[in-house]
Amino acid sequence: MKILLIISSSVGCYKALDLIREFQKQSIDYEIIATKNTFEFISPLLLESISRKKVYSELFDLDMEKNIGHIQLARDNTHIVVYPATANLVSKFAQGFCDDLALTCMIAANKPIYIAAAMNKEMWANSLIQKNVQLLKDHGHHFIGPDDGSLACGEYGSGRLVDPIEILKQLS
Ligand SMILES: Cc1cc2nc3c(=O)[nH]c(=O)nc-3n(C[C@H](O)[C@H](O)[C@H](O)COP(=O)(O)O)c2cc1C
C-alpha cells in the first residue's frame, strides 16, 4: 500500500499528524501534499519533520516538474486520501477545478479518492456542498465521515473529522 495524503486547511488538519504517525507505525509508504492554506495552521517544518518527507504544495515547482511531478504524484500510489478535506476543496474538485497542486493531482488521478470532510455543521449541511458531495459520490469517490460531535467552533453537529484509525480501517 502507498498512500498519497492530501491535507487541506480545516482547523482539524493537526490530526493529519496523527494519521502520518499511524502510517509510520503500520509501515505504510506515503507521500504528502498540503494546500498552501494548510500552512496557516501547521508549518511545513512541523509536517516535514514528523513525516520525514518532502511536503509538496507548489504546482509550479521547477525541480519537481522536470519529470512532470504532479502526474507522478497522482499515479504513484495505491490510494489517495484527503484528510481533512475543506468545503472549498470538495467543491472545487466536484466542479473540476485544478488551480493548485492538490486539485491538479486529484483531477489527474486514475482511481477513486477517499475524502474525509471536516467543517462547521452549517457548511456541511449547505445544499451547495451536499450537491457537490453527491456529485463526487456519483463519480465513484468515497466519503469517510464526517462524524457527529463537538466541533472546533464550539457547536455540536455533523462535520467533525473522523479519527485517523477510521481512515486505515476503510482502506484495508
Ligand atoms: C480558524 C479557521 C478554521 C477553519 N476551519 C475550516 C474547516 O474545518 N473546514 C473548512 O471547510 N474550512 C475551514 N476554514 C476555511 C478554509 O481554511 C478556507 O475555505 C480555505 O480557503 C480553504 O483552502 P484550501 O481548501 O485550499 O485548504 C477555516 C478557516 C479558519 C480561518
Exactly one of 13, 98, 105, 153 is catalytic; name it: 153
Q: What Cα–Cα distance (Å) separates residue 123 from each residue in 33, 36, 111, 144, 161? A: 24, 21, 27, 17, 13
Ligand 1, atom nearest to 87 Cα: 11
Supply the CATH number for residue 59's domain.
3.40.50.1950
- Residue 153 bears catalytic tag: yes
Q: Are 26 and 5 in contact (CB under 8 A)?
A: no
Q: Rounded CA gap, 98 and 94, in Å?
A: 11
Q: Rounded CA gap, 126 and 122, in Å?
A: 6
The partner residues of 147 in beta bridges, in order of sequence, read 160
- Which pLDDT value is given to residue 29? 97
- Which pLDDT value is given to residue 169? 94
| Residues contacting ligand 1 via CB (< 6 Å) | 8-12, 35, 37-38, 86-89, 118-119, 123
Residue nearest to atom 15 of ligand 1 (CA): 10
- When divided into structural domains, the chain yields a total of 1
pLDDT tens-digit readout, 80-118 = 999 999 999 999 999 999 999 999 999 999 999 999 999
Is the bond into 146 cis (omega within 30 degrees of 0)? yes
Residue nearest to atom 10 of ligand 1 (CA): 86
Residue nearest to atom 21 of ligand 1 (CA): 88
pLDDT tens digits in sequence order for the chain, 172 residues long: 999 999 999 999 999 999 999 999 999 999 999 999 999 999 999 999 999 999 999 999 888 877 788 899 999 999 999 999 999 999 999 999 999 999 999 999 999 999 999 999 999 999 999 999 999 999 999 999 999 998 888 888 999 999 999 999 999 7
- Which pLDDT value is given to residue 116? 98
pTM above 0.85, yes or no: yes
What is the residue range of 119's domain? Answer: 2-171
% the chain with pLDDT above 90: 87
